[in-house]
A and B are shown apart, each in its own frame.
Chain A
Amino acid sequence: MLRSALPGLVTVVLFFVGWEGAVRGFGIREFILPAPSAILNAAIAIWPTLLNHTLSTLTTVMLGFGASVLVSLPLAMIIAASPVISAAIYPVLVITQSIPKVALAPILIIALGANEVPRVIVTFLVAFFPLVVAAVAGLLATPPELIELGRACRAGRFQQMIRIRLPFAVPFVFGGLKVAAALSVVGAVVAEFVGADAGLGYLIQTSMAFFRTPLAFAAVVTLAIMGMVLFVVVGLVERILFPWSSSATPVTPA
């Protein structure tokens, strides 16, 4: 794990070193592009505030991500169970995906008030589609021989779904979960841009309004770290709970 993470780590360190050198060498002004050291100083100076905003965003992310998991898996099973239902639901899903979430956020906030609910809904809407698609793909990719084995054991349609298709789909579902985890961070920030009084998205907006660019960058870096941590956590959960699955989908953060 450590050994495989090393090349990525070297790349990241080189990137920041190059950045620091460029800012100093060319004398770039701080409100245009702050050096990593300036970003770090800004983050340390206000760390309790930064932590609060981070927790606020994380709450939205987890609620939206959790909701997307709770909705996607049953929905995927229904879609996979019946071609008719699939034909009825899929177009609606695709339509929800074609609506830009940034456009939807202000409408939701006017309808539901400037509270956590519209933010969680936006996060959910961004995260759930890739999860549904991945889960349906997995459920339908179950080899016909395994389905036939289930039939020979007198499994009904429900048992076939729960005991054969669902376990087979686990590696697919985790692929979808990794994408959904990263996207729910995007969704939460989009919602915070539009209507929030806390959160990293809100922090970026207010910082930029006062040209406190280092602070905005600190928030962006925190978001990146949050996305990576979520991705790794999903991978770890897969390894621990479904060890037979993870070797097929190696855990390497993108």
Chain B
Amino acid sequence: MIRLDAVGKVFAGRDGSRVTALEEVSLDVAPGEFVAIVGASGCGKSTLLRLVAGLVPVTTGRVSVAGKMVDEPSAETAMVFQAPTLLPWADVLRNVTFPLRLMGRAGGDTEARARALLATAGLAGFETKLPRELSGGMQQRVAICRALLQQPRVLLMDEPFGALDALTREEMSLELLRIWQETGAAVLFVTHSISEAVLLADRVVVMSPRPGRIADIVEIALPRPRGFEQEGEPAFHAAAQRIRATIYNRAVPHAA
């Protein structure tokens, strides 16, 4: 579904300096697969997502989604940004339906589906509230609903739970898994939390910084549906240990 082929990205700084954000990144994500990306801050995770979203062009290599080379944002792809990025002038419902309305894809059932999604995200009754009347975590849930409403075949999520408290975070992860299994979208999910990555993903991509590269890809063999009780299982620990070892001590990447 998503294919990255020896992708490199170099940013030109204001002062003419050049930052290599990504180098030789190759990755294949199957339809309906859930792939988590972990790595230190600044190792190019957001950049990777923005390349797949078609928001920035690659410097070298190629990115394709559903067999088509990505050179501009596609209607197949939806993105949840690192910050909620809501329209301050629109209420919750209009924020959630904004992409579909902007793309001229809003239909008769759009509003009903939006209301249903908001209800699953625990936001029933907040449809007519403005973003500034919501907490940070609620705003991020609105942003997640906004992406899901587009029924994308590729869902890109950049630390979507970063602003949530630990409790809401766990609740939202399970909710996301449930919705993902219904939609069958391919997901690229950036997170700073190793246990979150292991709990959610089929595979965890571990990235190393300067320049951003893929250091390891860990298969998570836990059965679905997933739940927090699995955090006690040996397979969970083994995967988490291997990821941790790769991040903190790149000399022993295959400690598991």
CA distance in complex: A150, B74 (Å)? 12
A154→B55 contact, CB < 8 A: no
Contact between B88 and A244 (Cβ–Cβ < 8 Å)?
yes
A168 touches B89 (CB 8 A): yes
Bound CA–CA A163/B55 (angstroms): 19
Q: Which residues of A contact B102 (CB under 8 A)?
A: 150, 153-155, 159, 163
Q: Residues of A contacting B103 with CB < 8 Å?
A: 153-154
Assembly CA distance A151 to B103 (angstroms):
11
Q: Which residues on the A side are within 8 Å of B77 (C-beta)?
A: 152
Main secondary structure of the interface of B (DSSP, over half): loop
A153 B73 Cβ-Cβ under 8 A: yes
Complex contacts, A242 vs chain B, CB 8 Å: 89
In contact, B75 and A154 (Cβ under 8 angstroms): yes
Q: Identify B73's interface contact among A146, A154, A163, CB under 8 A.
A: A154
What residues of B have a CB within 8 angstroms of the CB of A152 in the complex?
A: 53, 55, 73, 77-79, 99
Question: How far apart are the CA atoms of A150 and B83 in the complex, in Å?
Answer: 15
Tell me how far the C-beta of A242 lies from the nearest C-beta in chain B, rounded to whole angstroms.
Answer: 7
Contacts A170-B89, A244-B89; A145 near B75 (Cβ below 8 A): no
Binary A-proximity of B49-83 (CB < 8 A = 1, otherwise 0): 00001010000000000000000111101110101
Shortest C-beta distance, A227 to chain B (Å), equals 29
Check A167/B98 contact, CB under 8 A, given A145-B81, A153-B103. no
In the complex, what residues of B have CB within 8 A of residue A153's CB? 73, 98-99, 102-103
* Chain A residues touching B, majority SS: helix
**Any chain B CB within 8 A of the CB of A149?**
yes
Of B72, B85, B89, B132, chain A has the most CB atoms within 10 Å of the CB of B89
Interface size on A, residues (CB 8 A): 19
Enumerate chain A residues within 8 angstroms of B123, measured Cβ to Cβ: none
Contacts of A163 in B (CB 8 A): 102
User: Are the C-beta atoms of A148 and B72 separated by less than 8 Å?
Assistant: no
> Max chain B CB contacts within 10 Å: which of A149, A163, A245?
A149
Is the Cβ of B87 less than 8 Å from the Cβ of A167?
A: yes
Q: How far is the CA of A128 from the CA of B55 in the complex (A)?
A: 37
- Chain A residues with Cβ under 8 A from B74's Cβ? 154
- What are the residues of chain B within 8 A of A164 when measuring CB–CB? 87
Minimum C-beta distance from A24 to chain B (A):
53
Convert A144-183 into 0s and 1s, putting 1 for each residue whose CB lies closer than 8 angstroms to a CB of B.
0110111111110001000110011010000000000000
Residues 89-143 (chain B) with a chain A CB within 8 angstroms: 89-90, 98-99, 102-103, 130, 132
A218 and B83 alpha carbons, distance in the complex (Å): 57
| Residues of chain B from 198 to 219 with CB closer than 8 A to chain A in the complex | none
**Residue in B closest to A156 when the chains form the complex, CB atoms:** B102
Cα distance, A170 to B88, chains bound together (Å): 11
| List of B residues within 8 angstroms of A148 by Cβ | 55, 81, 85
> Could you tell me the distance between the alpha carbons of A40 and B83 in the complex, rounded to whole angstroms?
59
* Residues from chain B with Cβ under 8 Å of A149 in the complex: 81, 85
Known: A150-B102, A244-B89. A145 touches B55 (CB 8 A): no
Instruction: Tell me the minimal C-beta distance from B153 to chain A in angstroms.
Output: 15
Partner of A168, one of B88, B98, B132: B88
* List of A residues within 8 angstroms of B98 by Cβ: 153
Partner of B85, one of A145, A170, A244, A245: A145
Q: In the complex the two chains form, what is the Cα distance from A163 to B132 in whole Å?
A: 19
Contacts A151-B55, A151-B73, A242-B89 known; list 11 others, CB within 8 Å: A145-B83, A148-B55, A148-B81, A150-B102, A152-B99, A153-B102, A153-B103, A154-B102, A167-B87, A167-B89, A167-B90
User: 9 A-B contacts, Cβ less than 8 Å apart?
Assistant: A145-B85, A146-B85, A148-B81, A148-B85, A149-B85, A152-B53, A152-B73, A153-B99, A154-B102
- The 9 lowest CB-CB distance pairs between A and B, nearest first, are A153-B99, A153-B102, A145-B85, A167-B89, A244-B89, A152-B73, A149-B85, A152-B79, A154-B73
